[in-house]
Structure 1
Amino acid sequence: MHAEEIDPNAPVLDVKHLWVRYGSHTALEDVSLRIDGPGEILAIIGPNGGGKTTFLKAILGLIPISKGEISVFGLPPEKARPYIGYVPQYSKYDYDFPISVLEVVLTGRLKRAGLFRRYSKTDKAAAMQALETVGMTEYKDAQIGELSGGQRQRVFIARALSNDPKFLLMDEPNTGLDTFMQDELYRILEELKAKMAILVISHDVGAVSAHMDKIACMNRRLYFHDTKEMSREDFISAYGCSIDLIAHGAPHRVLDTHPYAHGADGSVCGCGVGGSPSSPSSLSESDENNNEKNSDEINSNEKNSDENNDEAEAK
């Protein structure tokens, strides 16, 4: 069964007034977004529970929509899947399962090979080409469970690329990666964006601020102005409080003074300290611990900087 032909003049993604409801809960509310073609990386950020993963599933045609329209290359989502590469959160994989790196990448060719057909030489060549793109050919025979987090993420990108997609979707790709591996990940995406449109979903403001071409905020609704510079009002709308981005060594979040008590009186926001009043779930305990750790590191760096300045003045 051949994939349906795409319309070369159609936008990569065209979402119009999308609503998704789970029973009485509204996950997405009147979301509209258009991506015309390759050349840029768009990040959608927002608090946990804000609807970002639901949005990806809707684009892939994996969940029913309540109202609105979605087209990918002029096709309904379920018919456009052969042209979409998808990189899920790698933490959801079972790394104890005995499968090699090459076998993982080959599973990305199932849409072409079929469930009950052997992989062809063309399939294997495409898988090897994808591994070469992400610099992982030397690990083709290694077990996926033996690799580091950053290496695994490269393999999952190769899996998505093995089917020669024209649109790449990534769900929290920097989860569990250190700063160096995050930079390496975005270096690969910078090379890929010339050939395909890329949409990255993340809840981490700082991790994407230095690498994305455009950023939108999502918390049930989408706040997007076709730019990387989001206004303070957009952040307040999405997170429930004001967030400034600054970079001295590493981008991070700084919370402006605001009335939310972060749980003291039940009024919390989605800035990373507490949950969002318009979101059904708050950040996990590990996220909160990471925020406290990052805050301690920032304070330590500032203290060291002050001490160095004092020594310089003394000299």
Structure 2
Amino acid sequence: MSFPLVAVLPGGIDDPAAPSGGNRYDREVLRRLAVSFLSVREEHVTGTWPRPAPSERKGLTAVLEAIGDGSTVLIDGLVAGGVPDLLEPHATRLRLAILVHLPLSDETGLSPDDAAELRALEGRSLHLAATVIATSTPAAHQITAMHGLTGVHVAPPGVDPAPLAEPSPGGGRLLNVASLTPRKGQDVLLAALAQLTDLTWTCTFAGAGRPPHTDLPGVRFPGPLTGDALDAAYANADLFVLPSRAETYGMVVTEALAHGVPVVASDVGGVPEALGSVNGEVPGRLVPPGDADALAATLREWLTDPGLRELWRERARARRETLTGWDETARRIGEILLGVEQ
């Protein structure tokens, strides 16, 4: 494949102070696509997406107007979803491919009216696209049903190879890597941990945002971690915990598994796909979202049962061998975009 690509991305994609799964996905894929395409031109549009201010709408309009007729344009769904009126003038002259990381109406904390409005706007935008790409199979099914689409493509995130973490005897080093937002459910994990004060554990919450108030000992909020610091956090973890209320895929799940670290996570969205299994054996456990009691019971079992810890570690190591890398994700995206060109 050898044709130019324009990628329209939210501003701040490379800001280490505000890492996100969507930004990481975009960056990893585009870095690899640049090897396959004659050229990949990135346009970063700053804005309060998906509800940009008037000046930010003008910025996106200027970017789109400057793209030549017939170009293939990969546009992040956070940017595209809320502005179908800005996309519409360009939908027939550009080949728009919209990459949906999270359906806009799935964001936690929206009022019913706001969720309905964003759902309607996103549906209009996606119907203007030549192709729509989701980052998990459940997300593709959801988008298809929600917006009456056909042919939504799937390109799950990859993961970088990583060395195995060295487990501690008691298994008490818990790790959560996620933005500190209601959707990620850190409040649920704190409520679960409050039921385990009779046991020995520590829990690191690595992510951008304001830490919730807690008086629990053994809890740490180091802020967002990237690079070597993030690798060290995984390397020093016994169990990864992701209590999200909504999650399209959960890239941090496969990052933990790449280190051989078992995972306890909410049974939502694409998380079961990310967690996976080998011969039907799951490297951890899925729990109902928002259920602090179920999460506490699972963590208590982990902390008090050495046999369970060893079993889950064996399964995590087996799952680690089946994980696919970012090269495969980029190859899949490239194939989809090549189909748009033809």
**TM-score above 0.5:** no
Q: Which has the higher contact order (CA 8 A, sep 6+)?
A: 1
TM-score under structure 2 length normalisation:
0.23
Query: Which structure carries more strand by proportion?
Result: 1
